[in-house]
Amino acid sequence: MNSSEILKTSGFTSAELTAGTLVVHTPIDGSEIASLKMHSTDDVLQMVGKGVDAFSAWKAVPAPRRGELVRLLGNELRAEKENLGRLVTLECGKIYQEGLGEVQEMIDICDLAVGLSRQLYGLTIASERPGHSMRETWHPMGVCGIITAFNFPVAPWCWNAALALVCGDPVIWKPSEKTPLTALAVQKICDRVTANFAEAPDGLIQTVIGERDAGEVLTASRDVAIVSATGSTRMGHAVGAKLAERFGRCILELGGNNAMIVTPSADLEMALRAVVFSAVGTAGQRCTTLRRLIVHESIYDQLLPRLKTAYDGLPIGDPLKDGILVGPLIDAQAQGGMDSALQQAVADGGTVHGGAHVHKGAFPNAAYVTPAIAEMPAQTDIVKHETFAPILYVIKYSDLDQAIAIQNGVPQGLSSCIFSTDVRETEYFLSAVGSDCGIANVNIGPSGAEIGGAFGGEKDTGGGRESGSDAWRGYMRRQTNTINYSRDLPLAQGIKFDI
Ligand code: NAD
């Protein structure tokens, strides 16, 4: 299918695709595929107003009924999986298999949210007073703004939206200005689902098309109770500070700088496959991409040559084609960022393998690169920085404490892993003195998390948690209730106050 066929099967009319000034390119060949109408500040504020009205109605709908809406959304996504997966590939350049995987994540989180809609439970707590009981209840919180990044254009919206909706919160989405088409396609799917669901109020699910300033309007509005923002640490600093000013609820999912430690007992065959998938998948543009490989000095010379051979054989090209494993970078700016990081690595004493620009003849306006391996003498400043491109820095270590110190010695704290068959090493890595990341894995790479566990990381990654476990609590307000069923009015702490 070519780009106009993909856009047509996603339900876009040519009027919509030429309605405004937000120009959208496909990274596959760099061509313009749409120029969309952007929302003004007034439009966004009106949408917030509609969201507030929707909240009054939606919070009164029983949670299992809210879950039913999400169940129907999951069904619609199943039916649209191929179309949407292809559009993800067209707009952000990840290979079609990964585009499908992203839509599957949306389906999976819908399933999880449907189950949760019958389990939004609190505690019962022992009271110190006779004839009293205490409990904790969870209530809907308000409008939830969802700001997302270009590299996962649809799944993180759904991680948030599916939970927010069952928790009773309307959602307003501000997708990346680089990937607004996938968001509009999802909005169309949602419109079909809500149109057939009597209890769904107008304004329950909305999408704002715009740039950073549209996100700023959501962040500044006191009517947006929660802002969940996925993107760079720079963006998180701005959003987090604004939310803190107005005591708004904030969920931040920011940059990562993920590492793998390969110990002498590791299964090297497995480690090799995990390194390649997690370092070059999505062309190194995942928040959980493997960026630092920390290898024991005794196995370094066995692993590195094999890794370089695997890199040399990687099929790089049009991500819609079968068999391609590495698509393009999002744009020339990303390619420039990769080039300068590799130059700095060399200046720091590193040796670089790969990192060439390719397919310039076939796609002069696209940004295809060969993934790079940079063997480094130490963890220099450039290694500590998240460059959003397929660069794998490799560092040798001699003992596990040193490896863990290197692994933790960066500002970000998203994902980490160890390859080892020694239970002492793996348990040490997972203990309080091991990895400081939100995600720590054993014998699998740092990327490709599944729905079910809480997703997110510490330090410059922002501290947010989404998706599984008890992440739903981030979309609700907690209320503590004390109930007196006696005929007396005893005070807590034994205080006497007789009148
Ligand atoms: P980005 O920060 O440039 O943009 C992300 C979104 O934030 C966009 O929608 C943008 O318009 C908006 N935005 C930017 N500044 C804003 C502001 N001041 N106020 C409100 N909104 C603002 O990120 P990107 O280049 O699209 O994505 C790549 C980054 O995202 C990487 O750092 C990557 O690690 C991170 N990321 C993190 C996760 C995670 O779950 N931790 C997932 C995906 C991507």
**Alpha carbon 217 to its chain's center:** 21
Closest atom of ligand 1 to 466 CA is: 40
**For position 454, what pLDDT does the model report?**
97
Grade residue 287 by pLDDT with cuts at 50, 70 and 90.
very high
Contacts of 75 (CB under 8 A, 6+ apart): none
Whole-number average pLDDT of the chain: 98
Tokens of 70: 């999400």
Q: What is the largest CA-CA distance in the chain?
A: 90
Mutate to test the pocket of ligand 1, among 217, 224, 287, 447 (most ligand atoms within 8 A of CB): 287
Average pLDDT over residues 9-21: 96
Residue 87: predicted pLDDT: 98
CA 456 – ligand 1 centroid, Å? 14
pLDDT band at 269 (very low <50, low <70, confident <90, very high): very high
State the pLDDT at residue 349: 98
pLDDT tens digit sequence for 449-474:
999 999 999 999 999 999 999 999 99
H helices then E strands: how many in the chain?
A: 16, 23
Calculate how far, in angstroms, residue 383's C-alpha sits from the geometric centre of ligand 1. 20
Residue 278 is predicted with a pLDDT of: 98
Task: Give dist(CA 458, CA 226) in Å, integer.
Answer: 19
Query: For residues 12 and 34, what is the distance between their CA atoms, to the nearest angstrom?
Result: 10
Pocket flag, ligand 1, residue 153 (CB < 6 Å): no
Residue 330 CA to residue 367 CA, distance in Å, equals 7
Pocket test for ligand 1, best of 152, 174, 212, 439 (most atoms within 8 A of CB): 212
Distance from the alpha carbon of residue 145 to the mean position of ligand 1, in angstroms: 14
Burial 264-296 (b: 16+ CB within 10 A, else e): eebebeebbebbbebbbbbbbbbbbbbbbbbbb
Which residues on neighbouring strands pair with residue 207, listed in sequence order? 173
Instruction: Give the percent of the chain with pLDDT over 70.
Output: 100
pLDDT number for residue 75: 98
Give CA–CA dist 320/326, Å, rounded.
11
178 CA closest ligand 1 atom index: 26
Output the pLDDT for position 469.
96
> Which of 36, 39, 151 has most ligand 1 atoms within 8 Å of CB, for mutation?
151
Indicate which residues carry an active-site annotation.
253, 287
CA of 156 to the centre of ligand 1 (A): 11
486 CA to centre of ligand 1 in angstroms: 54
* Backbone φ and ψ of 221, nearest 5°: -75, 125
Order of strands across the sheet that contains 132-140: 124-125, 132-140, 476-484
Coil vs helix vs strand at 124: strand
pTM score: 0.98
For ligand 1, is residue 220 a contact (CB within 6 Å)? no
State if residue 319 touches ligand 1 by the CB under 6 angstroms criterion. Answer: no
- pLDDT one-digit tens code per residue, 104-141: 999 999 999 999 999 999 999 999 999 999 999 999 99
Ligand 1 atom having least distance to the Cα of 152: 43
Query: Can you give the pLDDT at residue 497?
Result: 95
